[in-house]
Amino acid sequence: MSAPLLEIKNISKTFNNHSFGRSKYLAVDDVSFSIAKGESVALLGASGSGKSTLIRMLCGLEKIDPGSGSISVNDRHLYEDNKFSPQIREIRKTIGVVFQQFNLVGQLDVITNVLIGCVANKSLTDVLLRRFTEAERVAAIECLDKVGLGPQAYQRASTLSGGQQQRVAVARALLRGSTLLLADEPVASLDPSSAKKVMDVLFGLTQDLGMTLLVSLHQISIAQTYCHRALGMRKGRMIYDGPVADLTAHRLQDLYGSDAQEIVTDSYLINPSMSEKYPTLLSA
Ligand SMILES: Nc1ncnc2c1ncn2[C@@H]1O[C@H](COP(=O)(O)OP(=O)(O)OP(=O)(O)O)[C@@H](O)[C@H]1O
């Protein structure tokens, strides 16, 4: 296997839980894993298991607990001496993030939403006045073409479907030159057909452009269709790291507890062939 693009060692995240006096809540508990360049990996786990917190830590939106470990992307560390590395802006440029919420400015056209992705290289005034060079516009259209949205470049973002808006978010990551894509439940609020288009784009990019993908998902069938490997979280701990094909009914029970039945039934609606893999869960 090639050298890891993303390497995580023993990271933890503790939140102050204000609802219960001064108690602390360990949302991510001593997690370690690595992902090689070009891999597509599914991040699975029940609601509240820590997937979003982990993704937010990997892109530097959430700080890891002091002294709890390390995160490196392409051999560059996000943290040095418990602080963000001086190179954090450069490292962040190599990481594209797609969230469940579309995060586009609905009143702006699609191309401007993509160009906002190069904001790190421009002054705020240039961005607000939409002062982009011809070369930047051409590059943005190329990225939109890669996600199948070139013809929609001058349409208002608010007129796009949810799945199209997710693909604009992917085009934005492409324009930034990101080599690592982190997607946090990117298809959770989409119908099956739009979800398929978004996953086709995410997976196609890892195949065609050698990008690396970590995607959190609720539907096992989507993980099985697009990813060879899965990471599984339960109560903040990483309890599974292996082939998606080896996620037996027993392992799903470990991951999802009493929700395993519901997760498999939801996936079955998208992919009826699940009945062959999980007959016991589906007939329960
Ligand atoms: N800012 C915060 N302050 C306090 N607790 C938090 C905060 N963010 C997350 N948590 C808690 O950490 C735990 C993990 O949350 P997280 O959102 O990472 O789970 P998840 O696996 O992504 O869930 P879902 O699939 O529902 O999005 C939850 O119990 C959540 O309430």
- How far from 231 is each of 115, 169, 171, CA to CA, in Å? 33, 24, 26
Mutate to test the pocket of ligand 1, among 17, 22, 25 (most ligand atoms within 8 A of CB): 25
- Full-model pTM: 0.90
The ipTM of this complex is: 0.96
Ligand 1 atom with the smallest distance to the CA of 218 is 25
pLDDT in tens, 207-239: 888 899 999 998 888 999 999 999 999 999 999
pLDDT in tens, 92-141: 888 999 888 777 888 889 999 999 877 666 777 777 777 888 989 999 99
Question: How many whole angstroms separate alpha carbon 261 and alpha carbon 280?
Answer: 9
pLDDT in tens, 138-187: 999 999 999 999 999 999 999 999 889 989 989 998 898 889 999 999 98
- Atom 12 of ligand 1, nearest CA residue: 27
Residues 6+ apart with CB under 8 A from 154: 109, 110, 111
Placement of tokens 């990996």 in the chain: 41
Ligand 1 atom with the smallest distance to the CA of 18 is 4
Within 10 A of 142 (CB to CB), how many other CB atoms are there? 13
Question: How many whole angstroms separate alpha carbon 46 and alpha carbon 261?
Answer: 12
Question: How many whole angstroms separate alpha carbon 25 and alpha carbon 13?
Answer: 8
- Decide whether any atom of ligand 1 lies within 6 Å of the 267 Cβ: no
The continuous run of DSSP H or E covering 214 comes out as strand 212-216
| Contact between residue 41 and residue 230 where contact means Cβ atoms under 8 Å apart | yes
